[in-house]
Chains A and B, each alone.
Chain A
């Protein structure tokens, strides 16, 4: 046992080391800088953020691009409602654990970005006072329409309506998404492109197969017809009239095979 109080002095040496060290070593600093908003006026609603998106980005520089806060709706280039990806399928509304999403499907369908006409959300509300940022809506969305925003300065003086984000507040462009989450957005775009390419390739393959099948069918029909004619010459047909033509992909019927079987196969 050393002299009484030596433990305390040892500890004090540590605090002194940390105090002095904090001027030279960033790792010893206990605080992080926070980017305060420059104007002290609070917006009436969380959606009415008084700044442009670019300014918001500059303002939230302390938020890393890994931060995920509340959901937003993505739209591609162009007018938000003309290019919104959401088709109001309401899967997110159903899966949301705290039930903070409210969607109303549109009555009519609208064409967007060269795709076939789809429904769109007539109402899409997210109550951010209920949302718990679990990202399950992002996970379940089959259209990559809902992703997480990192905007965190959402305080308003109105705690009821003020924290309800409406459809138009939630709509953000894909470019904005690329700015706040570059890695994730790039990965998502790549996946969408891959899926689209795969789908098109599949479609092309299906079309080619269809074409081939049609050709084969035509060929088979022609051959069957020729054979029929040939057979009708050798002996009178018994059942050719009621037997349908053979399946398209099938090889031509063997000449020594009974005709009936070939028809019902």
Chain B
């Protein structure tokens, strides 16, 4: 399935001494969104071959988690994808909750949905900002995105005490209840958000420069996307209707009316990936409105004991993180520590098709193709 590098023996014609140019982009290149390196072979401006090199941010997350209690790994999951600590928490809590019998109170379920949809807004809005930043629109759209993101981060801070490393979910519920008036403030932010999205779409979606830079660039076929295990908005941009919120209906997602935007065509280019995220934000707002209507007072923590010591079992918990399917695989051996702790990071697996998408494109396009994948190196390297 992978694209083959074209035959470039013809380069040495007309007596000219030419050869492929090997460029190392990164690990400290601003376009690579962190410490990530692309070994690019170039023929002029065209990418002939590309090798992603990563692992610079490896910090032994899985092995660390095997040497500490189940609860102690929770703050470390925040640091996987540091834009979306809430969904990371949820995936891990889901996996651990399968190991023991545990009842999750209604209010906690609603707050989980609210938190994870707010997270999706944060992620998509800043991804679009970064993506346009990669296209050369330095600053302006990104700053607008960050301005809105800041309002949601304030909400996170009010609920959990931290803006990004929230560490808010617990096995069987949440760490603490939201403060008084939090739901009203959330409602204000959610109500204002569509107006911002209208403006943002006006700013970006019809811009001719964006259209010509992104349409037909970095095509990813449906077949390749499915066989490479791509998930999330990237898979939906390639025309596959697959969303774990709809497939698994984890938590209480079966109660909400929302649609899953996916591309009707089979192109799967950068513009599709950009638009799928813009549309997904609208759906997130729908879910948020329903959840804010439905939430009621009540306890936020279930019957979980102080010591978390599951019997011998295996579990896999997955959620639709903003970047794709985030899964945690746990093997319990009857001790307070997991025997095996494995993360299925969406960014990492989505990154595997980078070479196939980049071959034959210009070197400047490789930058925006990488930007459209939406990676966070904390999650890729773990």
Contacts and interface: CB of A to CB of B under 8 A. Distances in A.
Interface of A: 4-8, 10-11, 13-15, 17-18, 27-30, 32, 64, 66-68, 95-97, 132-136, 139, 148, 183
B157 interface: yes
Given A18-B144, A30-B143, A97-B72, A67 B202 contact: no
If over half of B's interface residues share one DSSP class (helix, strand or loop), that class is named, otherwise mixed; here it is: helix
B307 to A, nearest CB: 11
A211 B146 CA distance: 68
Given A4-B208, A66-B158, A132-B165, A27 B192 contact: yes
A124 B207 CA distance: 59
Interface of B: 68-69, 71-76, 79, 140, 143-144, 146-147, 150, 154, 157-162, 165, 167, 175, 179-180, 192, 199, 202-204, 206-209, 211
Nearest to B148: A27
B150 A32 contact: yes
8 contacts: A4-B208, A11-B204, A13-B202, A14-B202, A66-B157, A66-B159, A66-B179, A97-B75
Contacts of B68: 97
Given A14-B203, A18-B199, A95-B69, 6 more contacts: A8-B208, A132-B75, A133-B162, A134-B75, A136-B75, A139-B175
A67 B206 contact: no
Contacts of A17: 199
Contact of B144 (A30, A97, A133, A148): A30
A131 to B, nearest CB: 11
A155 to B, nearest CB: 19
Contacts of A136: 71-72, 75, 167
A86 B179 CA distance: 27
B284 to A, nearest CB: 20
B167 A30 contact: no
Contact of A10 (B72, B79, B206): B206
B207 A11 contact: yes
Contacts of A7: 206-208, 211
Given A29-B147, A97-B68, A64 B157 contact: yes
Contacts of B158: 64, 66
A4 to B, nearest CB: 6
A199 B74 CA distance: 33
Given A7-B207, A8-B207, A97-B73, A14 B199 contact: yes
Contact of B203 (A11, A66, A67, A97): A11
Contacts of B75: 97, 132, 134, 136
A62 to B, nearest CB: 12
Contact of B165 (A15, A32, A133, A183): A133
Given A7-B211, A139-B175, A67 B73 contact: no
Nearest to A5: B208
A21 to B, nearest CB: 10
A138 B19 CA distance: 62
B140 A183 contact: no
A106 B298 CA distance: 42
A7 B204 CA distance: 8
A119 B321 CA distance: 47
Contacts of B154: 64
Nearest to B177: A187
Nearest to A22: B147
Contacts of A64: 154, 157-158
A67 B161 contact: yes
A236 B204 CA distance: 109
Contacts of B203: 10-11, 14-15
A34 to B, nearest CB: 13
Contacts of A4: 208
Nearest to A142: B306
Nearest to B155: A66
A97 B192 CA distance: 38
Cβ-closest 7 pairs across A and B: A68-B161, A7-B206, A134-B75, A97-B72, A14-B203, A66-B158, A11-B203
Contacts of A139: 175
A96 B167 CA distance: 14
B157 A67 contact: yes
A178 to B, nearest CB: 16
A151 to B, nearest CB: 14
B147 A30 contact: yes
A173 B147 CA distance: 36
Most buried by A among B159, B160, B199: B199
Most buried by A among B146, B199, B203: B203
